[in-house]
Amino acid sequence: MALINRSDKTASGAMRAVARKRERYTHDVKAGRHTITADEPESAGGQDLGPSPQELLAAALAACTAVTMEMYAERKGWNVDGLEVDCRYSPAERGCPTRFEMIMRMPAHLSEEQVERLQVIAAKCPVHRTLEGEVAFDERVELT
């Protein structure tokens, strides 16, 4: 899993990220013009040189939610300086769903109506919609 930059779209409009092994459990993930290091924590045998793939998933949701709310607020002329989204993620275990806990910290000067509207908009961010929707995988192997 990698954070995906919208500027790196394939011909069909799909976004793309490529993970290339650097060393044990450490991968350089290329997304658009950006490179992100993904690694496992030392407790899992990695070197902790970057966020784990699971942390990147939580980061993608937090960032997408924050940006979506900021874009909406900007269109409305609302000041959301200090906006923060704290996303905690518990991977699924047998018989239990994947759990995301999101805390949206908004500036105290916003009205109750603005806060409610931003909360509704937050759930419409593309990553949130992807995670709660049906997902299909098209996988193949290419020998190099």
pLDDT on residue 135:
87
Pairing relationship of beta strands 26-31 and 84-90 according to DSSP bridges: unpaired
In sign, the C-alpha dihedral spanning 119, 60, 106, 69 is negative
Q: Which helix (H) or strand (E) holds 101?
A: strand 99-105
Length of the chain counted residue by residue:
144
- Please say if the pLDDT value at position 4 is more than 70: no
Q: How many CA atoms lie within 13 A of 69 on its CB side?
A: 27
Residue-range domain boundaries for the chain: 1-51, 53-133
Segment 20-77, tens digit of pLDDT: 999 999 999 999 999 999 999 999 999 999 999 999 999 999 999 999 999 999 999 9
Instruction: Supply the pTM of this predicted model.
Output: 0.86
pLDDT on residue 14:
85
Which CATH number applies to 53-133? 3.30.300.20
Name the amino acid, one letter, at 74.
E
